[in-house]
Amino acid sequence: MSSSRSCFASLAISLVVFMAMVARVPVEGARAFFVFGDSLVDNGNNNYLVTTARADSPPYGIDYPTHRPTGRFSNGYNIPDIISQKLGAEATLPYLSPQLTGEKLLVGANFASAGIGILNDTGIQFANVIRISQQMEFFQEYQQRVGAVVGEEQAQKLVNKALVLITLGGNDFVNNYFLAPITARRLQYNIQDFSHYLIVEYRKILKRLYKLGARRVLVTGSGPLGCVPSQLATTSANGPMRGGASKRCSDIQPPSYSNDSRTKSRAWIRHIYCC
């Protein structure tokens, strides 16, 4: 029993050494990077899906080294790219990329999918996107795949030591609650109760991430949502969708909403920022 164990251990060790040599990424001490969330951090998963939430045509990517659309919702690099650069690592591949095999798995993976939110009903208009619970299931599947390459114990270590980024929540406002003057969520909740509900659900997501082995997790807040290009275009009083050229950030709330609820929405955003 113990000899078969040590035999297995030495096999695992040689595999690790072999992988480290092949990958030129030593498993010990290397820091993998995992990304979860929405369009702010999606780096190409939606290119593999039948969805309208996609960034596969110009001008996306015009400032990227290839000057081509990459699936990132950005003119160039996005936040995960910049974090990878700071880690001294190559960019993580989208989880759905067929290139994500073998040594590439050790770099980490990006599970994010544009259009999704904290809630399952956020982004239903985009049809086939990877909801956050599915991203977690993929994370579990990823761990099995890495385990098959470097052994279960090393896979666990890699995940525990990794840096994790999760960016969620903006779509629950702009692509759910405020999507139309009347939405199911607006009938159900005032903004304060909706924000509270989001926090309750977000907490469950973060706990699940912890259970799956994530230990160093960057949780970002929602930015000023009225400054998001899509919101600038569609809701700015004198914006491009209304024949104007205004680049002023709009308030994501329709004029019928009171100042009071606006303040509460901002308070929620600050809350997520700090906690």
Ligand X SMILES: *[C@@H]1O[C@H](CO)[C@@H](O)[C@H](O)[C@H]1NC(C)=O
Q: Nearer to ligand X by C-beta: 120 or 238?
A: 120
Nearest-approach distance from CB 74 to ligand X, in angstroms: 28
Which residue number, 37 or 61, has a Cβ lying nearer to ligand X?
37
Rounded to whole angstroms, the Cα distance separating 39 from 77 reads 13
Among positions 10, 85, 120, 128, the unique one binding ligand X when judged by CB under 6 A: 120
Give me the 86-115 binding string for ligand X, x by CB under 6 A, dash otherwise.
------------------------------
Site for ligand X in 173-192 (CB under 6 A): none
Q: What CA–CA distance (Å, rounded) separates 43 from 206?
A: 21
In the window 207-266, what residues touch ligand X (CB under 6 A)? Answer: 259
Least distance in angstroms from the C-beta of 92 to ligand X: 24
144 binds ligand X (CB under 6 A): no
For residue 217, the tally of other CB atoms under 10 A from its CB is 15
Q: Smallest gap, in angstroms, from Cβ of residue 259 to ligand X? A: 4
Q: Among 172, 70, 195, 42, which residue's Cα sits nearest to residue 119? A: 172
Q: Which residue among 103, 145, 201, 240 contacts ligand X (CB under 6 A)?
A: 201
Kindly give the pairing relationship between strand 108-110 and strand 33-37: parallel
Of the pair 120, 190, the CB lying nearest ligand X is at: 120
Instruction: Between 75 and 134, name the residue whose CB sits nearer to ligand X.
Output: 134
- Which residue, among 253, 202, 203, has the nearest Cα to 224 in the 3D structure? 253
- Which of residues 52, 133, 140, 230 is near ligand X by CB under 6 A? 133
CA nearest 44: which of 87, 96, 122? 96
Measured in whole angstroms, the distance separating CA 111 from the mean position of its chain's CA atoms is 6
User: Which residue's CB is nearer to ligand X, number 48 or number 257?
Assistant: 257
Q: Which CA distances in Å does 267 have to 81, 104, 179, 260, 272?
A: 29, 40, 20, 11, 9
Euclidean distance between CA atoms 251 and 111, whole angstroms: 30
CB 163 within 8 A of CB 88: no
Using the minimum distance from each CB to ligand X, give the nearer residue, 90 or 201.
Answer: 201
Binding residues for ligand X, per CB under 6 A?
A: 120, 133, 201, 259
